Amino acid sequence: MPKLPPLTELNRIQPEVRVLGVRRGRSADEALVEVEALGKKDPTQPNRKTETAAYDLRLFRNGQLVGQWPAPEHGMAGPQDLREWQHVSAVPTRTHTFPVRLAAKDRGQPVIFTAYAFNEDR
């Protein structure tokens, strides 16, 4: 197992992520969920890690993972090496629209979409 850096040295800033809207997709069982992911700055951080970009954006439908952007090529967790992970996991656009299949059991019920992204230190 690789040696982990002390927690005090990790970037603690969380990217800003929000669901902008949900609209009907091509069929009655598909939703199009638009999500925004932005980097963030916080000059008050004591370890001098004062900003981060957004990485590995994930979307959940009622708590279940239903989308990941950019699409993972190396499995859900991505590469072990941090620099390689940053390269393949950087969110390439400010917004992304996820096509999401709605579960049959949720038909006629409210659906809650949530999203988050990782910072540069995962």
Which residue in 50, 54, 33 sits closest to 117, CA to CA? 54
Per-residue confidence (pLDDT) for residue 81, from 0 to 100 = 87
pLDDT, residue 73, reads 81
Q: Which amino acid is at 8?
A: T
Instruction: Spell out the per-residue pLDDT of the chain, length 122, in tens.
Output: 678 788 889 999 999 999 999 999 999 889 999 999 999 999 999 899 999 999 999 999 999 999 999 998 877 777 888 899 999 999 999 999 999 999 888 777 889 999 999 999 99
Question: What pLDDT is attached to residue 1?
Answer: 67
Q: Which two tokens stand for residue 110?
A: 């409210």
CATH 1.10.150 is held by the domain 12-118: no
User: Which whole-number Å values give the CA distances from 52 to 41, 43, 57, 62, 68, in the listed order?
Assistant: 7, 11, 14, 28, 19
Which distant-in-sequence residues (6+ apart) come within 8 Å of 15 by Cβ? 37, 38, 39, 40, 52, 53, 54, 55, 117, 118, 119
